[in-house]
């Protein structure tokens, strides 16, 4: 049975729980080098995350089940003026809630919020070895554009997108 999940914007008081989930969901990826893990731990410290999440250009959604944060989706528009393009930095789901539709629910809610705010595109990249994420995003209507070699921190990345505009 799928758990009851509520999706909403993160609250500043939830940043410690968000960081804990970030570390669990993102930094536990086995393909990340020790150097990259250390960099992310430094780059996503509490004070930095608090500052970034509260910027106008940022949007961080969380999935809540039984009062507990079980997933998140975080990104930003290219400019605070909302030029219509959203870059998704991270998505993560706690291990015990994976394969229960939480990521799909987060993404569908994100798309709804972005359409309401007149965004027309979502972009993001994923690690080429992350087949599970690729399968999820493909099922949600996203398409892989290109493989970018020697991208973030020397790793390859797959660039993905989805148009949020209605087809004419």
How do the domains of the chain map onto residue ranges?
A: 6-163
The per-residue pLDDT for range 57-82, each reduced to its tens digit, is 889 999 999 999 999 999 987 554 55
Distance CA 71, CA 75 (A): 14
* pTM given for the model: 0.88
- Superfamily in which the 6-163 domain is placed by CATH: Gcn5-related N-acetyltransferase (GNAT) (3.40.630.30)
Taken in order 65, 12, 46, 130, is the CA torsion positive or negative? positive
Q: Are strands 121-126 and 85-93 parallel, antiparallel or unpaired?
A: parallel
**Mean pLDDT for the stretch of residues 149-157:** 83
Distance CA 127, CA 118 (A): 29
pLDDT computed for residue 81 by the predictor: 52
The per-residue pLDDT for range 94-132, each reduced to its tens digit, is 999 999 999 999 999 999 999 998 899 999 999 898 888
Mean pLDDT over each residue of the chain, to the nearest integer? 87
């Amino acid at each position: 049975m799928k758990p009851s999940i509520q999706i909403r914007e993160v609250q500043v008081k939830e940043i410690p729980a968000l960081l804990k989930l970030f570390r669990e969901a993102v930094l536990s990826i086995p393909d990340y080098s020790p150097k990259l893990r250390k960099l992310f731990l430094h780059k996503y410290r509490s004070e930095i995350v608090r500052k970034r999440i509260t910027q106008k250009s940022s949007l961080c959604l969380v999935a809540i089940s039984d009062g507990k944060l079980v997933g998140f989706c975080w990104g930003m528009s290219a400019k605070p003026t909302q030029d219509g393009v959203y870059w998704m930095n991270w998505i993560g789901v706690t291990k015990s809630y994976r394969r229960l539709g939480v990521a799909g629910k987060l993404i569908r809610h994100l798309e709804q919020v972005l359409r309401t705010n007149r965004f027309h595109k979502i972009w993001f990249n994923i690690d080429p070895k992350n087949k599970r994420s690729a399968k999820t995003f493909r099922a949600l209507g996203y398409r892989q554009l290109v493989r970018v070699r020697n991208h973030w921190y020397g790793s390859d990345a797959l660039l993905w997108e989805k148009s949020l505009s209605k087809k004419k």
